Chains A and B, each alone.
Chain A
Amino acid sequence: MSAQPLLEIENLQTYFHTDEGTTKAVDDVSFGLKAGRTLGLVGESGSGKSVTSLSVMQLLPEFVSSIEGQSKISFLGKDLVRLPRDEMRALRGNDVAMIFQEPGTALNPVYRVGEQVAEAIRLHHGASKQEALDRTIALFEEVGIPDPSRRIMSYPHEMSGGQKQRVMIAMALSCDPKLLIADEPTTALDVTIQKQILDLLAKLQLERNMGVLFITHDLGVIAEIADEVAVMFRGKLLEYGPVEEIFANPKHGYTRGLLACRPRLEMDWRRLPTVSDFVEVETDDEGTVTISERDEKIAQDDPRYTRGRGRLLHPIAELKELETVHDASKLDELCGDDVHFAEGEPLLEVKGLKVWFPIKKGILRRTVDHVKAVDGISFNVYEGQTLGLVGESGCGKTTTGRAMIRLQEKTEGTVRFRGKDVHELAGDDLKAFRRDVQIIFQDPYGSLNPRMSVGAALREAMEIHGIGSGLEDRNKRAAKLLEEVGLLPEHLTRYPHEFSGGQRQRIGIARALAVEPKLIICDESVSALDVSVQAQVLNLLKDLQEQRGLTYVFISHDLSVVKFISDMMVVMNAGKIMEQGPSDAVYASPKEEYTQRLISAIPDGGLELVKERVAARKKARAEASS
């Protein structure tokens, strides 16, 4: 194998210039990438990882950004920073190709996918129409699109997200690039599809001896794909080395924090460490960031993380009915020793719930069929419990959540809260229900009214339900709520745009708490957050549950998060429940093949798995070169 570096970045400094001053988006970053290797560039939002890749492509926004003097980016011996524009343009899409996070928006919806790939081939190679089409079919075959000669005639909307990403990869490969830059290519996909795409990228790279710069926020994905890892934080490169080194012996506190704060499937922690346990960040007036490490080591059995409320399961009789646990004596083994059982009647009871959406056709808008979003599901939630609702996109979990709190009308079945049918409530009963049950959403940017100050939003919620008396009292309560969710009382007068994503999510939680609910539906409430922020919010939810005796229905696509936070787990697919039971039991011995697939597709990031994969790659590489 050649040891010649394909891409070498030295002292890269990319600055952004705005009215508010200069931001050092990338600050003195150096790393190299060899042919046939994958460099995982990992970092959270604002770390500068995408700006680094845009600097390589010379695709930074003009006028507001600049690459500073000392920076060097050499690719195949050419200095990209100082390369004339036309030469750079020739390089892009020939020697360097790129794939993005959203395959849906990267394809033009009015052209057939085959035409789009063929067009790229003709543009770069001057091939004839027929040659380009033949090559497209071969490429589709290579990226694993079934029945390629027919699929080239499909339009983008006729393909799934995973297939569209395969088309994007085919397009990127069409001119045999030496370097492939993949910017979060699997983030928008379901875990099972993510796994397929990662496997595909690893295979293609080996066959083509490509260098891959893989950008992601997810260390789990890094563990599955990278040979070397570069960890970025606030524009700085904190750590750079072989993947097994980073996972076995992370040197920088931030990396240790990042590794520790991910909920991992095989771990039995009650709380998560957060990155702020490991590093301290200070920004001075000139925008210079200082990162100092804290002396923090976490043992597997650290009491700070292992102690806490145990699992609160359904009554034994009901568990037996669910058939996940046949033998109650095995519960200790499956769920750990700190197990309690709920008593009495369930707080929320879902029975035979169906939500169908009609498909209408023709001038008369006759209903010809139904989309069975939720198709006859039943489960219970007991007071003080967390029930996790997990499944891939389109499985009906969000619709279930909305039907449970009557934001969505049901088609059939019942939802009972404290014995009363939720969909039959009216007047004061409905108002009381609206107070008892709240929802926290996914999108921290869409869940707050941008024209309302934080204080006004919290006061409004109280006002509607007659909590507190008068402005002053409500302000006092609102300030207390903000402190409870880890914000400051002076934040009351601020507007949503002044907060970060994690802070907004805390405000959303405070708003839900303002009416003192009993049950909170968390609909993908941590999915849009960086892992380090996700850990903080998950801890907050757990704390609030203990302090206030809250009941949660936690909806998520991420099985590791659901397993961490939930007592009971419901696995959904195509509108139906695949299986349900205690979270630990479902994870430890999944009954259904679907659940098994879901679990095995999760990029876990365990050290043993990383070592295994690296060894397998080395072997495969040796075989390929001989």
Chain B
Amino acid sequence: MMDPRAWKRFRANKGATVGAVLVLFVTLVAILGPFLAPHDPTEQFRDTLINDDGTLARPFELAGHLLGSDSTGRDELSRLLHGGAISMLVAYFATALTILIGVVVGVTSGYFGGIVDTLWMRFVDLLLSLPFLLLAIAFKSVISEATLFHLILLLAALSWTRLARVTRAKVMQVRQLEYIQAARALGMTHTRILMKHVLPNVTGPIIVLGTTLVARMIIFESALSFLGLGVDPPQASWGSMLHEGQQLMVDSPHLMLLPATMIVVTVFGFNLLGEGLRDAFDPKD
């Protein structure tokens, strides 16, 4: 389905290749991490990891605890690996849900136009006019027992509008092309035209935006965790670890630097990949 010329352009782009490698790396960490982790991420090793004077074990100090201790004597490496799995799981699923909602809204809105379009777009305007943080806090207060599923739902609810708008714009552009008119003149049903002629021709921008969305989701999740709205302790995600590490920043900077590095690498990788895909799909821009 991918245009062979686009693939060639993608291969020739060094940044995109670096991005793809980084993305592959963090995705593998997320999938394999829990199995590779040497300890249970919630098990406390107060005797070995917290010194008598109350300071924490630093990275590379102790064999068996490669990255030292977290703030309460848990194995930092294990938490980082488990946290990565959760962060990436949340990011990937939230992105998939965002794309699903965004594409359905964008395609119907752009293709049918008229009243369908007006209703969807006013709804989008409404959502966009509400402050993100307020929504998140309201959401948390309504659902007391928040699970990962709720977090994914919240992230998708906050992000699909942008994707819907981009998809709509692209669909409106494709809709007036003559091959869509020709399809109508051949007597095709709307479903068929949408699935076979419109969708395949708007996938480019959706894939590109979707890639950068994964990066945004990781940042979003970190931000929510940072505010205590993300995953519930004792579970770890990179975002919540960043939040915890921030309190002990002066004495044990590694608690903040390690998850921060992972987030930066992931976001950087996805952004590079997204840009590479954009150049490959749409060399004119």
Per-residue 0/1 for B125-155: is the Cβ within 8 Å of any A Cβ (1 yes, 0 no)?
0000000000000000000000000000000
Cα distance, A434 to B184, chains bound together (Å):
8
Would A515 and B201 be within 8 Å (CB), given that A407-B181, A443-B178, A446-B178 are in contact?
A: no
Nearest CB on B from A616, distance (A): 44
A434 touching B187, Cβ below 8 Å:
yes
Cα distance, A512 to B185, chains bound together (Å):
9
Docked complex: B172-199 residues within 8 A CB-CB of A:
177-179, 181-188, 192, 196-197
Closest A-chain residue to B12, C-beta based? A19
B187 touching A460, Cβ below 8 Å:
no
- Pick the contact of B178 from A405, A441, A464 — CB < 8 Å? A441
B178 touching A442, Cβ below 8 Å:
yes
Contacts of A435 in B (CB 8 A): 187
Closest A-chain residue to B180, C-beta based? A449
Task: Please classify the interface of chain B as helix (H, G, I), strand (E, B), loop, or mixed, using the class held by over half of its residues.
Answer: helix
Closest B-chain residue to A441, C-beta based? B178
Does A430 make an interface contact (CB < 8 A)? yes
A446 touching B177, Cβ below 8 Å:
yes
Would A448 and B181 be within 8 Å (CB), given that A434-B187, A438-B186, A515-B186 are in contact?
A: no
A464 touching B187, Cβ below 8 Å:
yes
B185 touching A437, Cβ below 8 Å:
yes
B179 touching A465, Cβ below 8 Å:
no
- Pick the contact of A434 from B1, B3, B185, B196 — CB < 8 Å? B185
Cα distance, A461 to B185, chains bound together (Å):
10
- Pick the contact of A511 from B5, B182, B184 — CB < 8 Å? B182
Contacts of A443 in B (CB 8 A): 178
Contacts of A460 in B (CB 8 A): 186, 196
Cα distance, A395 to B192, chains bound together (Å):
33
Does A508 make an interface contact (CB < 8 A)? yes
- Pick the contact of A451 from B5, B178, B186, B200 — CB < 8 Å? B200
Would A441 and B181 be within 8 Å (CB), given that A434-B187, A464-B186, A515-B186 are in contact?
A: yes
B197 touching A449, Cβ below 8 Å:
yes
Would A430 and B182 be within 8 Å (CB), given that A449-B197, A450-B201, A460-B196 are in contact?
A: no
Contacts of B201 in A (CB 8 A): 449-451
Contacts of B183 in A (CB 8 A): 449
Closest B-chain residue to A437, C-beta based? B185
A407 touching B185, Cβ below 8 Å:
yes
Would A438 and B178 be within 8 Å (CB), given that A449-B201, A451-B200, A451-B201 are in contact?
A: no
Contacts of A589 in B (CB 8 A): none
B185 touching A464, Cβ below 8 Å:
no
Does A447 make an interface contact (CB < 8 A)? yes
A434 touching B186, Cβ below 8 Å:
yes
Nearest CB on A from B214, distance (A): 25
A447 touching B186, Cβ below 8 Å:
no
Contacts of A452 in B (CB 8 A): 196-197, 200
Nearest CB on A from B114, distance (A): 12
Does A137 make an interface contact (CB < 8 A)? no
A447 touching B179, Cβ below 8 Å:
yes
Does A439 make an interface contact (CB < 8 A)? yes
Contacts of B5 in A (CB 8 A): 497
Cα distance, A402 to B184, chains bound together (Å):
11
Per-residue 0/1 for B197-212: is the Cβ within 8 Å of any A Cβ (1 yes, 0 no)?
1001100000000000
Cα distance, A449 to B203, chains bound together (Å):
14
Does A297 make an interface contact (CB < 8 A)? no
Contacts of A326 in B (CB 8 A): none
Does A208 make an interface contact (CB < 8 A)? no
Cα distance, A497 to B6, chains bound together (Å):
13
Does A125 make an interface contact (CB < 8 A)? no
Cα distance, A443 to B182, chains bound together (Å):
12
Cα distance, A435 to B185, chains bound together (Å):
8
Contacts of B188 in A (CB 8 A): 464
- Pick the contact of B185 from A405, A446, A449, A451 — CB < 8 Å? A405
Cα distance, A508 to B5, chains bound together (Å):
23
Nearest CB on A from B195, distance (A): 12
Contacts of B178 in A (CB 8 A): 441-443, 446-447
Would A431 and B182 be within 8 Å (CB), given that A446-B177, A449-B197, A451-B200 are in contact?
A: no
Contacts of B192 in A (CB 8 A): 464
Docked complex: B199-235 residues within 8 A CB-CB of A:
200-201
Cα distance, A402 to B3, chains bound together (Å):
32
Nearest CB on A from B207, distance (A): 14
Nearest CB on B from A320, distance (A): 35
Nearest CB on B from A429, distance (A): 11
Nearest CB on B from A254, distance (A): 31
Closest B-chain residue to A365, C-beta based? B118
- Pick the contact of A446 from B179, B196, B197 — CB < 8 Å? B179
Per-residue 0/1 for B150-167: is the Cβ within 8 Å of any A Cβ (1 yes, 0 no)?
000000000000000000
B185 touching A448, Cβ below 8 Å:
no
- Pick the contact of B182 from A433, A447, A451, A465 — CB < 8 Å? A447
Closest B-chain residue to A435, C-beta based? B187
Contacts of B187 in A (CB 8 A): 430-431, 433-435, 464-465
Cα distance, A601 to B181, chains bound together (Å):
33
Contacts of A448 in B (CB 8 A): 179
Closest B-chain residue to A431, C-beta based? B187
Nearest CB on B from A40, distance (A): 32
Cα distance, A438 to B183, chains bound together (Å):
10
A439 touching B185, Cβ below 8 Å:
yes
Contacts of B179 in A (CB 8 A): 446-449
Per-residue 0/1 for B104-137: is the Cβ within 8 Å of any A Cβ (1 yes, 0 no)?
0000000000000000000000000000000000
Would A407 and B184 be within 8 Å (CB), given that A446-B177, A449-B179, A450-B201 are in contact?
A: yes
Per-residue 0/1 for B1-22: is the Cβ within 8 Å of any A Cβ (1 yes, 0 no)?
1010100000000000000000
B200 touching A439, Cβ below 8 Å:
no
Per-residue 0/1 for A198-229: is the Cβ within 8 Å of any B Cβ (1 yes, 0 no)?
00000000000000000000000000000000
Cα distance, A442 to B187, chains bound together (Å):
20
Contacts of A465 in B (CB 8 A): 186-187
Contacts of A447 in B (CB 8 A): 177-179, 182
Cα distance, A405 to B182, chains bound together (Å):
11
Interface centre among B184, B187, B200 (most CB of A within 10 A): B187
Closest B-chain residue to A430, C-beta based? B187
A441 touching B186, Cβ below 8 Å:
no
Nearest CB on A from B119, distance (A): 14
Contacts of A508 in B (CB 8 A): 182
B1 touching A461, Cβ below 8 Å:
no
- Pick the contact of A461 from B177, B181, B186, B197 — CB < 8 Å? B186
Closest A-chain residue to B118, C-beta based? A365
Cα distance, A449 to B201, chains bound together (Å):
8
Contacts of B182 in A (CB 8 A): 439, 441, 447, 508, 511-512
Cα distance, A402 to B196, chains bound together (Å):
23
B181 touching A439, Cβ below 8 Å:
yes
Cα distance, A447 to B177, chains bound together (Å):
7
Cα distance, A511 to B183, chains bound together (Å):
10
Docked complex: A400-425 residues within 8 A CB-CB of B:
402, 405, 407
A451 touching B1, Cβ below 8 Å:
yes
Cα distance, A12 to B179, chains bound together (Å):
41
Contacts of B3 in A (CB 8 A): 450-451
Cα distance, A58 to B184, chains bound together (Å):
47
Cα distance, A439 to B184, chains bound together (Å):
10
Contacts of B186 in A (CB 8 A): 434, 438, 460-461, 464-465, 511, 515
Contacts of B181 in A (CB 8 A): 402, 407, 439, 441
Provide a sorted-by-A list of 20 A–B residue pairs whose CB atoms are within 8 angstroms.
Answer: A405-B185, A407-B181, A407-B184, A431-B187, A434-B187, A435-B187, A438-B185, A441-B181, A441-B182, A443-B178, A447-B177, A447-B179, A448-B179, A449-B183, A449-B196, A449-B201, A452-B196, A464-B187, A464-B192, A512-B182
Given contacts A434-B185, A451-B200, 12 further A-B contacts (CB under 8 A): A407-B181, A442-B178, A446-B179, A447-B177, A447-B179, A448-B179, A449-B201, A464-B187, A497-B5, A511-B182, A512-B182, A515-B186
What are the nearest 7 A-B pairs in CB distance? Answer: A434-B187, A447-B178, A441-B178, A451-B200, A446-B178, A449-B179, A446-B177
